[in-house]
Amino acid sequence: MAEARKLRSVCAMTTVRNDALFLPRWIAHYGAAFGRENLLVILDGHDQQLPPDAGPVNLIRLPHQPLPRVPAMRRRARVMSDIARGMFRYHDMVIATDVDEFILVDPALGVDLRAYLSALSRPPAAISALGLDVGQHLRLEQPLDPARAFLDQRSFAHVSARYTKPAIATRPLTWGSGMHRIKGRNFRIDPNLFLFHFGMVDYQHATGKTADPDRLATGWEGHLARREALFSHITNAEPLDGDAYFPIARRRQTWLRPLYAPNKPGMIPGNPVVRIPERFRGLV
């Protein structure tokens, strides 16, 4: 990695509705990396509010118009792509994530996310971080304490191609449904970046979403039930060493791609679960 001559201007953006757990951490995490004035939060509904200590975070309120799950995800990807296209008139890079997704540089490098991205020489149009779907081990881990860091309390993750998302854009592009791919472009998994998905970080919090009447009415029940299977995978798996498995996962996701979507990473069979390396402890 070459020495950075100038820090790039990076905008991080997300959409959110009815969330109190993740948005304050999302703002704190990406605000520390890029400055809160470079964050953009899109609130789904005029009944939604930012946390009171959000500071100079930029805000867009959109009307809440429920759709079935698949059309809703497609609409969201188009809206995020359109807004990001405009942000490139002000910023060098745009990061688009769900509110429960946190991109981290490997702590072993000793640099923050902005410095790392600024030092990349001739980056591709989109950069993916290796996806780690973090869940609660129901026998070994206690319910989440919201006052403590997530990675102080959780030690296991499913290595998931679903979360190896091309979330970092270096030029205007169009994300596909769920932000899982870039339309008409390839993807590249960075060797030092990780995307931690914390949607299943706590059993009680996650299973409560299954009873959300808004989600049930728009066809999210099956999707949420599939995600909840993560708790069983993590609790019953024999975990692999994360550092030993990460290079294998990157190679498999890069080369074993689905025939119907060659611009998406390939799913790894067997639901591999890893123990998160100790150096990540205390983050997020």
pLDDT of residue 266: 86
pLDDT of residue 220: 52
pLDDT of residue 219: 54
Is residue 222 one of the residues assigned to a domain?
A: yes
Q: Please list the pLDDT of the chain residue by residue as tens digits (284 residues).
A: 444 468 999 999 999 999 999 999 999 999 999 999 999 999 999 999 999 999 999 999 999 999 998 999 999 999 999 999 999 999 999 999 999 999 999 999 999 999 999 999 999 999 999 999 999 999 999 999 999 999 999 999 999 999 999 999 999 999 999 899 998 888 899 999 999 999 999 999 998 755 555 655 555 565 567 778 999 999 999 999 999 999 999 999 999 887 777 888 988 888 999 999 999 999 99
Is residue 181 one of the residues assigned to a domain?
A: yes
Is residue 4 one of the residues assigned to a domain?
A: no
Is residue 103 one of the residues assigned to a domain?
A: yes
pLDDT of residue 21: 96
pTM of the model: 0.92
The count of structural domains within the chain is 1
Structural domain boundaries, residue 101: 10-280
Is residue 274 one of the residues assigned to a domain?
A: yes
Is residue 187 one of the residues assigned to a domain?
A: yes
26 neighbors 99 (Cβ within 8 angstroms): yes
Is residue 45 one of the residues assigned to a domain?
A: yes
CA 126, CA 268: separation in Å to the nearest integer?
A: 22
Is residue 5 one of the residues assigned to a domain?
A: no
